[in-house]
């Protein structure tokens, strides 16, 4: 039976009936407290306000095995620090498990037995996504906690992650307008979190956590590291350093002081990835270019240099003025002092202005005297510059998550 907190079932004799019922009820109350962030299990409790998890579907482990065809390898959508994500199918109205192709697709995240923070991150996901609803946050459909198995069920995002579209070999290039739309959607999600009644710091903003639906609408996912923001006039919260190298703000890494605007730094990093098509960290690039932020920063205020670091897959099909404004926004988000960074509401204003700048239609070019092979060579070199070096297997380096709790 999954931990869905139904009426306790008693299979013992009548002589033990009363005491057994009391024990079962106490155990179920303890489990409910764990789901709501209360504590137990020997771990540190997550201090949270009580939330309406009753709105979420509670699954048994067996039901999710059925929905994913026993977690078959060919249903794997991806893998992160928490564990693997599988594609499953549920009824469109009741969300009960269904057969493949019947009902609606869902993404089932299953905790890894090797994850020491599985319960804590699972609680955080239920805590925040079970409480919030926004067009730019992935919808949490339900959950399961059974023995040491922690699972979460989300809406299925057909286009996968922004990370794959930017860096995966063979992925269809994203247009400039689609990139700015994705950035705007993600910014709306962050702004929502920062302006809720109790401010939420996302703490792990990166391209891998931005998921896209069939129309390239972007939604934030993976709230396992999210944390309530400062209260009582404090500027920050002090906490263990977690997140992903390259995206985490420098003041947070250095001191453990987490500001709301630490998220803004991460947004600046992702926007830089969006316009350059380069990972924030890649040791396969030349030494001076391993860290995208350090290498690209001097080019951002210079129009000529900026043009050289723009993603060649855009094929210059973007408004130069829009690229310049995007570069200015990136620089402001990457300010060393968090006080100097803009709030997400101001980032949104800038992105909407950038999105309103239209690309001028290209005039048809005549290449009467230019042989085809030369065009091929130019196209080849544009996609294989030192800035876009890949490993021999075609994949860029993966980032190492920070797990210093």
**Is 222 one of the annotated active-site residues of the chain?**
no
CA distance 199 to 53: 20
At 17, the pLDDT band (50, 70, 90 cuts) reads: very low
Identify any residues that bridge with 291 across adjacent strands, giving them in sequence order. Answer: 281
Q: Using the predicted structure, report yes or no on whether residue 40 has a pLDDT greater than 90.
A: no
pLDDT digits (tens, 9 = 90+) for 73-88: 999 998 876 789 999 9
> Is 367 a member of any domain?
no
> Cα 227 to the chain's mean position, in Å?
15
Average pLDDT over residues 107-114: 85
Tell me: do 282 and 197 sit in the same domain.
Answer: yes
Residue 41 binned pLDDT confidence (cut-offs 50, 70, 90):
very low
Residue 355 clears pLDDT 90, i.e. is over it: yes
Pick the most confident of 31-45, 50-64, 93-107.
93-107
**Partners of 376 in the beta sheet?**
none
385 pLDDT above the threshold of 90? no
Token pair for 359: 């690309």
Q: Is the pTM of this model over 0.95?
A: no
- Nearest Cα neighbor of 270 from 303, 237, 247, 245 is 247
| Burial per residue of 160-178, b for 16 or more beta-carbon CB atoms within 10 angstroms, e otherwise | ebbbbbbbeeeeeebbbbe
Whole-number pLDDT of residue 224: 87
- With respect to residue 373, please indicate whether it lies within any of the assigned structural domains: no
User: CA-to-CA distance for 11 and 3, rounded, in angstroms?
Assistant: 17
CA separation for the pair 56, 70 (Å, rounded) = 22
> Which of 120, 155, 190 is the endpoint of a domain?
155
Q: Are residues 215 and 282 in the same domain?
A: yes
CATH of the domain at 167: 1.10.510.10
Residue 155, beta-bridge partner list: 106
Helix (H) / strand (E) element for 59: namely none
- CATH number of 103's domain: 3.30.200.20
Residues 210 and 302 in one domain: yes
Looking at the structure, tell me whether residues 103 and 215 fall in a common domain. no
In a domain, 388, yes or no: no
On whether both 176 and 132 belong to a single domain, the answer is no
For the cut 70, the answer to whether the pLDDT of residue 394 exceeds it is no
**What pLDDT is attached to residue 391?**
42
Q: Which of 91, 114, 147, 204 is an active site residue? A: 204
**Whether residue 123 is found in the same domain as residue 213:** no
Q: Is the pLDDT of residue 36 over 80?
A: no
How, if at all, do strands 83-90 and 76-79 pair? antiparallel
Q: Provide the CA 18 distance to its chain's centre, in angstroms.
A: 48
| Average pLDDT estimate for 131-136 | 91
Is 80 exceeded by the pLDDT of residue 24? no
Question: Could you tell me if residue 238 is inside a domain?
Answer: yes
Co-location of 275 and 180 in the same domain: yes
For residues 216 and 291, state if they share a domain.
yes
Does residue 378 fall inside a structural domain? no
Q: Is the pLDDT of residue 234 over 60?
A: yes
Domain that holds residue 51: 44-155
Number of domains in the chain: 2
Whether 106 and 184 share a structural domain: no
What's the confidence (pLDDT) of residue 367?
54
User: Is residue 221 over pLDDT 80?
Assistant: yes
238: three-class secondary structure by DSSP: strand
Q: Is 29 annotated as a binding residue?
A: no
Nearest Cα residue to 167 out of 250, 278, 67: 278
Of the candidates 155, 190, 223, which is a domain's last residue? 155
**Lowest mean pLDDT segment, chosen from 20-29, 138-147, 252-261, 274-283:** 20-29
What pLDDT, in 10s, does the model give residues 176-219?
999 999 999 999 999 999 999 889 999 999 999 999 999 999 99
pLDDT for the residue numbered 85: 94
Say whether pLDDT at 319 is over 50.
yes
**Last residue of one domain, picked from the residues 155, 185, 215:** 155
Instruction: Evaluate if residue 277 carries a pLDDT over 90.
Output: yes
Whether 26 maps to a domain, the answer reads no
Looking at the predicted structure, is the pLDDT value of residue 95 above 80?
Answer: yes
- Is there a domain that residue 210 lies in? yes
Which pLDDT score, from 0 to 100, does residue 179 have?
A: 98
| Residues 252 and 339 occupy one common structural domain | yes
In this structure, are 60 and 203 located in the same domain? no
Residue 326 domain-assigned (yes or no)? yes
Classify the C-alpha dihedral 356-220-87-1 as positive or negative: negative
Name the token pair of 189. Answer: 């999600």
| 273, 315: one domain | yes
Q: What mean pLDDT do residues 329-345 have? A: 98
């Amino acid at each position: 039976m999954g931990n869905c907190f139904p009426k306790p079932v008693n299979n013992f004799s009548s002589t033990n009936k009363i005491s057994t019922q009391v024990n079962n009820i106490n155990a179920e109350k303890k489990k409910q407290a764990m789901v709501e962030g209360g504590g137990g299990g020997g771990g540190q409790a997550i201090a949270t306000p009580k939330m309406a998890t009753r709105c979420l579907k509670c699954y048994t482990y067996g039901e999710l095995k059925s929905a994913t065809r026993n977690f078959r390898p060919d249903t794997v959508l991806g893998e992160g620090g928490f564990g693997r994500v599988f594609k499953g199918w549920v009824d469109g109205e009741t969300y009960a498990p269904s057969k493949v192709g019947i009902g609606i697709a869902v993404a089932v995240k299953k905790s890894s037995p090797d994850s020491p923070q599985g319960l804590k991150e699972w609680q955080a996901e239920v805590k925040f996504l079970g409480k919030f609803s926004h067009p730019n946050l992935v919808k949490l459909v339900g959950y399961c906690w059974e023995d040491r198995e922690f699972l979460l069920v989300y809406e299925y995002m057909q286009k996968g992650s922004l990370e794959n579209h930017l860096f995966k070999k063979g992925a269809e290039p994203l247009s400039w307008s689609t990139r700015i739309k994705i950035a705007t959607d993600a910014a709306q999600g962050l702004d929502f979190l920062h302006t809720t009644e109790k401010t939420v710091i996302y703490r792990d903003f990166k391209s891998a956590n931005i998921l896209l639906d069939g129309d390239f609408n972007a939604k934030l996912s993976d709230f396992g590291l999210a944390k309530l923001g400062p209260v009582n006039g404090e500027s920050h919260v002090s906490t263990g350093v977690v997140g992903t190298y390259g995206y985490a703000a420098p003041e947070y890494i250095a001191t453990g002081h987490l500001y709301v605007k630490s998220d803004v730094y991460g947004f600046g990093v992702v926007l830089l990835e969006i316009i350059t098509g380069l990972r924030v960290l890649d040791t396969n690039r030349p030494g001076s270019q391993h860290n995208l932020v350090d290498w690209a920063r001097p080019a951002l205020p210079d129009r000529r240099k900026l043009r050289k670091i723009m993603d060649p897959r855009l094929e210059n099909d973007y408004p130069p003025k829009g690229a310049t404004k995007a570069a200015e926004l990136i620089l402001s988000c990457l300010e060393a002092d968090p006080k100097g960074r803009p709030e997400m509401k101001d980032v949104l204003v800038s992105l909407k202005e950038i999105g309103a700048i239209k690309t001028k239609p290209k005039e048809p070019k005549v290449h009467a005297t230019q042989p085809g092979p030369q065009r091929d060579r130019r196209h080849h070199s544009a996609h294989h510059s030192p800035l876009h070096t890949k490993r021999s297997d075609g994949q860029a380096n993966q980032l190492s998550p920070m797990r210093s709790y």
